[in-house]
Amino acid sequence: MKILLEKSGFCFGVKRAYEICQKNFGQSFQTFGPLIHNYEVLKEIKQNGGQICQKISEVKNNKNLIIRAHGISQKKFLKLQKKTNLLQDATCPFVVKLQNEARNFYKNNFFLIIVGQKNHPEIKAICEDCPKAKVIFSLQEAEEIPKQEKIALVAQTTEKEEKFNKIAKIFKKKSKILKIKNTICTDVKKRQKAVRYLSLKVDLLLVIGGKKSSNTKKLFEIGKQNCLTFLIQNKTEIPWKIIKNLKPQKVGLYSGASTNEKTINEIKMALENY
Protein backbone atom coordinates (compact mmCIF):
# COMPACT_ATOMS: atom_id res chain seq x y z
CA MET A 1 0.00 0.00 0.00
CA LYS A 2 1.50 3.29 -1.12
CA ILE A 3 0.69 6.42 0.89
CA LEU A 4 0.54 9.75 -0.92
CA LEU A 5 0.74 12.69 1.50
CA GLU A 6 0.14 16.09 -0.07
CA LYS A 7 -0.18 19.60 1.43
CA SER A 8 -0.43 19.32 5.20
CA GLY A 9 -0.58 21.33 8.37
CA PHE A 10 -1.91 24.73 9.36
CA CYS A 11 -2.64 27.44 6.83
CA PHE A 12 -1.13 30.90 7.41
CA GLY A 13 -4.16 32.27 9.28
CA VAL A 14 -4.52 29.27 11.61
CA LYS A 15 -0.77 29.12 12.26
CA ARG A 16 -0.79 32.80 13.17
CA ALA A 17 -3.75 32.34 15.55
CA TYR A 18 -2.15 29.28 17.16
CA GLU A 19 1.17 31.10 17.68
CA ILE A 20 -0.61 34.05 19.32
CA CYS A 21 -2.39 31.58 21.59
CA GLN A 22 0.79 29.58 22.29
CA LYS A 23 2.47 32.66 23.79
CA ASN A 24 -0.15 32.51 26.55
CA PHE A 25 0.42 28.83 27.39
CA GLY A 26 1.23 28.22 31.05
CA GLN A 27 -0.93 31.05 32.34
CA SER A 28 -4.67 31.50 32.73
CA PHE A 29 -6.14 33.06 29.58
CA GLN A 30 -9.34 33.17 27.53
CA THR A 31 -10.39 32.86 23.89
CA PHE A 32 -13.55 34.46 22.57
CA GLY A 33 -15.12 31.48 20.87
CA PRO A 34 -13.15 28.35 19.91
CA LEU A 35 -9.83 29.53 18.42
CA ILE A 36 -10.10 27.17 15.42
CA HIS A 37 -12.23 24.19 14.38
CA ASN A 38 -9.93 21.42 15.57
CA TYR A 39 -10.72 19.25 18.59
CA GLU A 40 -7.10 18.23 19.21
CA VAL A 41 -5.87 21.85 19.27
CA LEU A 42 -8.75 23.02 21.47
CA LYS A 43 -7.92 20.22 23.90
CA GLU A 44 -4.26 21.37 23.95
CA ILE A 45 -5.32 24.97 24.61
CA LYS A 46 -7.47 23.89 27.55
CA GLN A 47 -4.61 21.80 28.99
CA ASN A 48 -2.35 24.86 28.86
CA GLY A 49 -4.60 27.25 30.75
CA GLY A 50 -7.05 28.40 28.07
CA GLN A 51 -10.77 28.83 28.61
CA ILE A 52 -13.41 29.50 25.93
CA CYS A 53 -15.80 32.42 26.43
CA GLN A 54 -18.98 32.43 24.35
CA LYS A 55 -20.48 35.63 25.79
CA ILE A 56 -19.09 39.07 26.65
CA SER A 57 -20.47 38.65 30.18
CA GLU A 58 -18.12 35.67 30.69
CA VAL A 59 -14.97 37.70 29.93
CA LYS A 60 -12.74 38.50 32.91
CA ASN A 61 -10.91 41.81 32.57
CA ASN A 62 -7.76 40.58 34.37
CA LYS A 63 -6.94 37.81 31.84
CA ASN A 64 -5.60 37.94 28.30
CA LEU A 65 -8.43 37.51 25.79
CA ILE A 66 -7.74 36.14 22.30
CA ILE A 67 -10.22 36.71 19.45
CA ARG A 68 -10.83 33.50 17.48
CA ALA A 69 -9.38 33.02 13.96
CA HIS A 70 -12.89 33.27 12.46
CA GLY A 71 -13.25 36.81 13.79
CA ILE A 72 -16.15 38.54 15.52
CA SER A 73 -18.39 41.47 14.63
CA GLN A 74 -17.15 45.03 14.94
CA LYS A 75 -19.92 45.65 17.47
CA LYS A 76 -18.66 42.87 19.75
CA PHE A 77 -15.04 43.89 19.27
CA LEU A 78 -15.75 47.48 20.42
CA LYS A 79 -17.63 46.18 23.47
CA LEU A 80 -14.74 43.91 24.38
CA GLN A 81 -12.27 46.78 24.01
CA LYS A 82 -14.25 48.68 26.62
CA LYS A 83 -14.31 45.69 28.96
CA THR A 84 -10.62 44.75 28.84
CA ASN A 85 -7.31 46.16 27.60
CA LEU A 86 -5.80 42.65 27.45
CA LEU A 87 -7.20 41.97 23.99
CA GLN A 88 -5.23 39.99 21.38
CA ASP A 89 -6.74 39.73 17.90
CA ALA A 90 -6.05 36.38 16.17
CA THR A 91 -8.57 36.95 13.35
CA CYS A 92 -7.28 35.51 10.08
CA PRO A 93 -6.15 38.33 7.72
CA PHE A 94 -8.29 36.83 4.92
CA VAL A 95 -11.34 37.02 7.20
CA VAL A 96 -10.47 40.64 8.02
CA LYS A 97 -10.35 41.38 4.28
CA LEU A 98 -13.81 39.81 3.82
CA GLN A 99 -15.20 41.77 6.78
CA ASN A 100 -13.85 45.07 5.43
CA GLU A 101 -15.18 44.44 1.91
CA ALA A 102 -18.61 43.47 3.22
CA ARG A 103 -18.94 46.44 5.58
CA ASN A 104 -17.78 48.86 2.88
CA PHE A 105 -20.37 47.61 0.38
CA TYR A 106 -23.07 47.67 3.04
CA LYS A 107 -22.27 51.26 4.06
CA ASN A 108 -22.46 52.30 0.40
CA ASN A 109 -26.02 50.95 0.11
CA PHE A 110 -25.29 47.86 -1.96
CA PHE A 111 -27.59 44.87 -1.60
CA LEU A 112 -24.95 42.67 0.05
CA ILE A 113 -24.99 38.97 -0.79
CA ILE A 114 -22.66 36.53 0.95
CA VAL A 115 -22.09 33.06 -0.50
CA GLY A 116 -21.57 30.75 2.47
CA GLN A 117 -23.09 29.05 5.49
CA LYS A 118 -25.28 31.38 7.52
CA ASN A 119 -24.59 29.53 10.80
CA HIS A 120 -20.81 29.67 10.42
CA PRO A 121 -19.17 32.08 12.94
CA GLU A 122 -17.37 33.95 10.15
CA ILE A 123 -20.68 34.76 8.42
CA LYS A 124 -22.65 35.37 11.61
CA ALA A 125 -20.10 38.04 12.61
CA ILE A 126 -20.57 39.90 9.30
CA CYS A 127 -24.37 39.70 9.55
CA GLU A 128 -24.25 41.27 13.02
CA ASP A 129 -22.67 44.35 11.43
CA CYS A 130 -24.71 44.09 8.20
CA PRO A 131 -28.15 42.89 9.37
CA LYS A 132 -29.84 43.28 5.96
CA ALA A 133 -27.23 41.20 4.14
CA LYS A 134 -28.49 38.09 2.35
CA VAL A 135 -26.64 34.80 2.87
CA ILE A 136 -27.07 32.16 0.17
CA PHE A 137 -25.58 28.71 -0.18
CA SER A 138 -26.82 27.32 -3.50
CA LEU A 139 -27.31 28.26 -7.15
CA GLN A 140 -31.05 27.86 -6.67
CA GLU A 141 -31.08 30.45 -3.89
CA ALA A 142 -29.17 32.81 -6.19
CA GLU A 143 -31.77 32.36 -8.94
CA GLU A 144 -34.59 33.18 -6.52
CA ILE A 145 -33.24 36.61 -5.55
CA PRO A 146 -35.04 39.41 -7.47
CA LYS A 147 -33.25 42.06 -9.52
CA GLN A 148 -31.66 44.92 -7.57
CA GLU A 149 -30.23 48.29 -8.54
CA LYS A 150 -26.90 47.71 -6.79
CA ILE A 151 -25.59 44.27 -5.82
CA ALA A 152 -22.32 43.35 -4.12
CA LEU A 153 -21.25 39.71 -3.99
CA VAL A 154 -18.66 38.28 -1.59
CA ALA A 155 -17.83 34.77 -0.34
CA GLN A 156 -17.04 32.98 2.88
CA THR A 157 -13.26 32.51 2.89
CA THR A 158 -13.61 28.71 2.79
CA GLU A 159 -16.24 28.52 0.02
CA LYS A 160 -15.76 26.47 -3.17
CA GLU A 161 -14.42 28.74 -5.91
CA GLU A 162 -16.20 26.81 -8.66
CA LYS A 163 -19.57 27.36 -7.01
CA PHE A 164 -18.86 31.04 -6.33
CA ASN A 165 -18.02 31.66 -10.00
CA LYS A 166 -21.28 30.00 -11.12
CA ILE A 167 -23.29 32.15 -8.70
CA ALA A 168 -21.47 35.28 -9.90
CA LYS A 169 -22.66 34.56 -13.47
CA ILE A 170 -26.27 34.41 -12.26
CA PHE A 171 -26.04 37.88 -10.69
CA LYS A 172 -24.63 39.46 -13.84
CA LYS A 173 -28.22 39.32 -15.13
CA LYS A 174 -29.75 40.77 -11.99
CA SER A 175 -28.21 44.22 -11.53
CA LYS A 176 -27.06 47.29 -13.46
CA ILE A 177 -24.35 47.92 -10.88
CA LEU A 178 -22.67 44.69 -9.77
CA LYS A 179 -19.54 44.43 -7.64
CA ILE A 180 -17.98 40.96 -7.31
CA LYS A 181 -15.20 40.30 -4.81
CA ASN A 182 -13.77 36.80 -4.67
CA THR A 183 -12.87 36.77 -0.96
CA ILE A 184 -12.04 33.05 -0.84
CA CYS A 185 -8.72 32.45 0.91
CA THR A 186 -5.75 31.84 -1.40
CA ASP A 187 -4.68 28.79 0.61
CA VAL A 188 -8.20 27.36 0.38
CA LYS A 189 -8.18 27.70 -3.41
CA LYS A 190 -4.85 25.87 -3.64
CA ARG A 191 -5.99 23.06 -1.35
CA GLN A 192 -9.21 22.56 -3.29
CA LYS A 193 -7.32 22.21 -6.57
CA ALA A 194 -4.72 19.92 -5.03
CA VAL A 195 -7.22 17.57 -3.35
CA ARG A 196 -9.13 17.25 -6.63
CA TYR A 197 -5.92 16.19 -8.38
CA LEU A 198 -4.95 13.80 -5.56
CA SER A 199 -8.39 12.14 -5.54
CA LEU A 200 -7.88 11.17 -9.19
CA LYS A 201 -4.64 9.34 -8.39
CA VAL A 202 -5.67 7.17 -5.41
CA ASP A 203 -8.08 4.35 -4.54
CA LEU A 204 -8.89 5.77 -1.11
CA LEU A 205 -8.61 9.32 0.23
CA LEU A 206 -8.48 10.32 3.89
CA VAL A 207 -9.19 14.01 4.51
CA ILE A 208 -7.88 14.93 7.96
CA GLY A 209 -9.50 17.67 10.01
CA GLY A 210 -12.24 18.79 12.37
CA LYS A 211 -15.82 17.73 11.67
CA LYS A 212 -16.92 21.35 12.25
CA SER A 213 -14.27 22.81 9.93
CA SER A 214 -15.84 24.36 6.83
CA ASN A 215 -12.67 24.20 4.72
CA THR A 216 -12.10 20.54 5.64
CA LYS A 217 -15.67 19.57 4.74
CA LYS A 218 -15.25 21.25 1.34
CA LEU A 219 -12.12 19.15 0.70
CA PHE A 220 -14.07 16.03 1.64
CA GLU A 221 -16.89 16.96 -0.76
CA ILE A 222 -14.42 17.51 -3.61
CA GLY A 223 -12.56 14.27 -2.91
CA LYS A 224 -15.63 12.03 -2.82
CA GLN A 225 -16.57 13.12 -6.34
CA ASN A 226 -13.65 11.06 -7.64
CA CYS A 227 -12.87 8.27 -5.17
CA LEU A 228 -13.87 6.65 -1.89
CA THR A 229 -13.24 9.39 0.67
CA PHE A 230 -13.44 9.62 4.46
CA LEU A 231 -13.23 12.63 6.77
CA ILE A 232 -11.31 11.70 9.92
CA GLN A 233 -10.15 13.75 12.90
CA ASN A 234 -7.37 11.50 14.20
CA LYS A 235 -5.81 8.01 13.94
CA THR A 236 -8.63 6.39 15.96
CA GLU A 237 -11.02 7.13 13.07
CA ILE A 238 -8.98 5.42 10.33
CA PRO A 239 -11.47 3.09 8.52
CA TRP A 240 -9.46 -0.12 9.03
CA LYS A 241 -12.31 -2.44 7.99
CA ILE A 242 -12.67 -0.64 4.65
CA ILE A 243 -8.91 -0.75 4.10
CA LYS A 244 -8.81 -4.47 4.91
CA ASN A 245 -11.63 -5.28 2.47
CA LEU A 246 -10.68 -2.84 -0.28
CA LYS A 247 -6.92 -3.53 -0.18
CA PRO A 248 -6.12 -0.17 -1.83
CA GLN A 249 -2.86 0.15 -3.73
CA LYS A 250 -2.73 3.91 -3.18
CA VAL A 251 -4.09 5.84 -0.18
CA GLY A 252 -4.09 9.64 -0.28
CA LEU A 253 -3.78 11.85 2.80
CA TYR A 254 -4.82 15.48 2.73
CA SER A 255 -5.40 17.88 5.60
CA GLY A 256 -7.71 20.77 6.28
CA ALA A 257 -6.25 24.20 7.06
CA SER A 258 -6.71 23.78 10.82
CA THR A 259 -5.09 20.35 11.16
CA ASN A 260 -1.79 20.16 13.03
CA GLU A 261 1.30 18.25 11.85
CA LYS A 262 1.25 15.92 14.86
CA THR A 263 -2.16 14.48 13.95
CA ILE A 264 -1.18 14.06 10.29
CA ASN A 265 2.07 12.27 11.18
CA GLU A 266 0.29 9.92 13.60
CA ILE A 267 -2.16 8.89 10.87
CA LYS A 268 0.62 8.46 8.31
CA MET A 269 2.66 6.32 10.73
CA ALA A 270 -0.35 4.14 11.60
CA LEU A 271 -0.94 3.43 7.91
CA GLU A 272 2.75 2.72 7.27
CA ASN A 273 2.78 0.22 10.12
CA TYR A 274 -0.34 -1.57 8.84
112, 130 Cβ separation under 8 angstroms: yes
User: Cα torsion for 101, 133, 221, 33, to the nearest 10°?
Assistant: 80
Alpha-carbon dihedral sign for residues 117, 123, 127, 133: negative
3-class DSSP state of 215: helix
Task: Quick: pLDDT tens for 169-199.
Answer: 999 999 989 999 999 999 999 999 999 999 9
Euclidean distance between CA atoms 104 and 76, whole angstroms: 18
Task: Quick: pLDDT tens for 18-32.
Answer: 999 999 999 999 999
3-class DSSP state of 256: coil
Alpha-carbon dihedral sign for residues 181, 184, 190, 196: negative
What's phi and psi for 122, nearest 5 deg? -60, -40
Q: What is the DSSP letter of 194?
A: H
Catalytic residue among 122, 143, 159, 261: 122
Residue type, 29: F
Instruction: Sort 62 into a burial class: Cβ within 10 Å, 0-12 / 13-18 / 19+.
Output: exposed
CA angle 256, 260, 265 (to 5 degrees): 100
CATH topology of domain 94-184: Cobalt-precorrin-4 Transmethylase; domain 1 (3.40.1010)
Task: Quick: pLDDT tens for 44-65.
Answer: 999 999 999 999 999 998 999 9
Average pLDDT over all residues of the chain: 95
Euclidean distance between CA atoms 49 and 27, whole angstroms: 6
Domain positions in the chain: 2-7+187-272, 12-92, 94-184
pLDDT given at position 195: 95
CATH code, 2-7+187-272? 3.40.1010.20
Euclidean distance between CA atoms 20 and 137, whole angstroms: 32
Residue type, 200: L
Identify whether 122 is a catalytic site residue.
Answer: yes
Sheet strand arrangement including 175-180: 134-136, 111-115, 148-155, 175-180
Least Cα distance to 189 among 166, 155, 213, 212 occurs for 155
5: left (phi over 0), alpha (psi -120 to 50) or beta: beta
CATH topology of domain 12-92: Rossmann fold (3.40.50)
What does pTM read for this prediction? 0.90
Same CATH topology for 2-7+187-272 and 94-184: the answer is yes
Euclidean distance between CA atoms 193 and 184, whole angstroms: 13
Task: Quick: pLDDT tens for 68-99.
Answer: 999 999 999 999 999 998 999 999 999 999 99
Question: 260-270 burial, b if ≥16 CB within 10 A, otherwise e?
Answer: beebbebbbee
Task: Quick: pLDDT tens for 237-265.
Answer: 999 999 999 999 999 999 999 999 999 99
Number of Cβ within 10 Å of residue 274's Cβ equals 12
